[in-house]
Each structure stands twice: as C-alpha cells, then as structure tokens.
Amino acid sequence: MLTLAESERLARLDADIEAVVRREYEQSQPVGEVELPAVLSASLLMRAAADPDALARDLARPMPRITPASAVRGTAFHQWVAASAEQLTLIPEWDLAEDAELAGDPELAALIEGYLGTEYARMTPDGTEVEIALRVSGMVVRAVIDAVYRHADGTWEVVDWKTNRHQTADPLQLSI
C-alpha cells in the first residue's frame, strides 16, 4: 500500500515520464516544413544546397556545435589580414612583422607567410570584411566580402580568402 504522499509523488513522476516520452516522440518525427530565418547567410544557403534535410533538422532542433580547429584558424587568418590592411592605411611603410601570438600556431603562421608572399600584402584594400545584404526572392541574403581592391586601371577585384588544404572554392559561395 502506498501512502497518499507516495501516490501523489508517483503520479507526478508518471506525468513527467509521459511528457518526456511525448516530447521525444514528437522530436523524432520527420520534419515536414521549417521556417527559414528572416536573414539568410551565405553559409546557411550553402548548407541548404548541400543537404536540405540536415539543415531542416538543425533549424527545427538547434544543437550546439563544436567549431573545428580549421574554422577557428580560418577566422584568425581573416582577422589578421583585415588588421594588417588597417595598419597599412595608417602606416603605409608598416613591415607586416610576424605577430607574437602566431608563434603558437604554425599552421596559421604558414597561412600568413603565404599571404605575405602575394601582391595583396603590399596593396591597400578599399575594404575588408565588407558586410552586404541583398533582397533575393523576398528574402534577405547576408554575406561578408573578405577584401575589395581597386586597381590602377580602375577595375575592381573582389577577394575571398581560402584557408582550406584543397585550394578550392565553392562556386555557390562565390556567386553569393
């Protein structure tokens, strides 16, 4: 025999278990339709093109993600290049000396060394990390342009830095 307090506690536990089972069941069902965010990033569009079902699941039930070391390194490289460009606009004779914090990441240091061997390291961009937003088919698409250079002949060059090992660019990302 259960006491009245034990019966009430058992009833609460049963209700909690039923709620958890119902939630898990509902979340395990295929996602039929997911509302897209009001503003779409270039990377979200690339994920939609690569695997729309996985994106729908992620939007329906967002989960924390671990950022790969390569993505962290790519972000650090982009930030370093943007900071270098700012220095060049302030001090044109700045020597682009290696930063102290690069010593801890030889792969990042190699990326920067590669950049320093290009013509871009000696050019002053008209803009870095330029955010743009365009309305496309009723949606706002947001992207970030890594760098924009104006050449002496008046032409413009839009640059998208790549830090992956395969030296490839996704045509969809570049078109966005």
The rounded average pLDDT for each run of 10 residues, N- to C-terminus, in the chain (176 residues) is 89 93 82 82 89 88 86 88 73 49 76 90 90 89 92 94 79 80
Predicted TM-score (pTM) above 0.85:
no
d(C-alpha 10, C-alpha 2), whole Å: 9
Any idea which residue has 């020597």 for tokens?
A: 95
- The H-assigned helical ranges of the chain are 4-28, 42-50, 52-60, 69-90, 106-116, 171-175
Residue 77: CB atoms within 10 Å: 21
- What's the confidence (pLDDT) of residue 140? 92
Given a contact cutoff of 8 angstroms between Cβ atoms, the answer to whether 146 and 132 are in contact is: no
List the structure tokens of 141.
């698409």
pLDDT of residue 94: 46
In the prediction, which pLDDT does 171 show? 83
Query: How high is the pLDDT of residue 163?
Result: 85
pLDDT at 131: 92
Helix (H, G, I), strand (E, B) or coil at 47: helix
